[in-house]
Amino acid sequence: MSPVSSQPHPAAHRIAVRAARLRALGFTDYDEYLRSPHWISLRYRYRGHPELRQSCICGASEGLLLHHRTYERLGEEELTYLLPLCPPCHAMLHELERRGDIPVGADPAELLSAERAERYGEETAPIRERAATDATEEARSLEQMSLPARLLRAQRLAHQAGLPVDRLEKAILARIETIERRVKRGY
C-alpha cells in the first residue's frame, strides 16, 4: 500500500493560492477580479506589447483569454506570467493541469517541442494510415453507389452525427425520385 500524500494536488494548491490572493486584494471571487480596472488595464497593456505572443498555441488570434501561469503574484502580475489562449485551449490546459499530465504553470508552447511533435507523428502514423486506407475504400464503394443511395447515406450520417439535413439535399433527393418515377412510367 502506498502512503497517502499530505501535499495537496498542484492544481488544488493553485486554486487555494488564488483564493488567498483574492481575499488579500479585497475581492470576493475571481470573476470580480477579472472585471476590475487593474485587470482590464493589464489586458490592454499585454495586447499592446509588441514583444509578447498575441495568438494562441493553436494559431487562434480572436477571442483570446489571458491565462495566469501562476497566481502567486495575482494583483501584481508581470506581463510575462500571462499567456494568450483561446477558450478551448485554456480549458484543455486547466484539465491537463488538474489531471497532473502537465506541470501547473507550464507554458503550453514549451510543450510543443519538435521532438514531441515528431514522436507523436510516429506514434499516430499507423492510425492515420489506417484512416486513409478506410477513406479510400469508402470512396471506392461510394463511387459504385447510385446518387440517391449516396444522398440517403449522407442524410443518415448527418442525422447520426446530430447535424441538420440541408434543404438542398432534400430537394435534390426529391428531384431524383421524380425523375426516376417518370423514367419508370416511360415519360
Please determine, for residue 143, whether its predicted confidence score (pLDDT) is greater than 70: no
For residues 12-36, b (16+ Cβ closer than 10 Å) or e, as one string?
Answer: eebeebbeebbeeeebeebeebeee
The dihedrals phi and psi of 83, each to the nearest 5 degrees, come to -130, 130
Q: Quote the CA–CA distance of 85 and 96 in Å, as a whole number.
A: 14
Q: Quote the CA–CA distance of 102 and 97 in Å, as a whole number.
A: 5
Tens of pLDDT, residues 94-112: 777 777 777 777 766 666 6
User: Residue 3: which H helix or E strand, with range?
Assistant: none
Chain centre distance of CA 175: 40
Domain boundaries of the chain, sorted by first residue? 10-111, 126-185
Please determine, for residue 184, whether its predicted confidence score (pLDDT) is greater than 70: yes
State the pLDDT confidence band at 27, using cuts at 50, 70 and 90: very high
Which of 4-8, 57-61, 104-108 comes out lowest in average pLDDT?
4-8
The pTM (predicted TM-score) of the whole model is 0.54
β partners of residue 66 = 84
- Describe the chain by its helix, strand, coil percentages, rounded to 5: 60, 5, 35
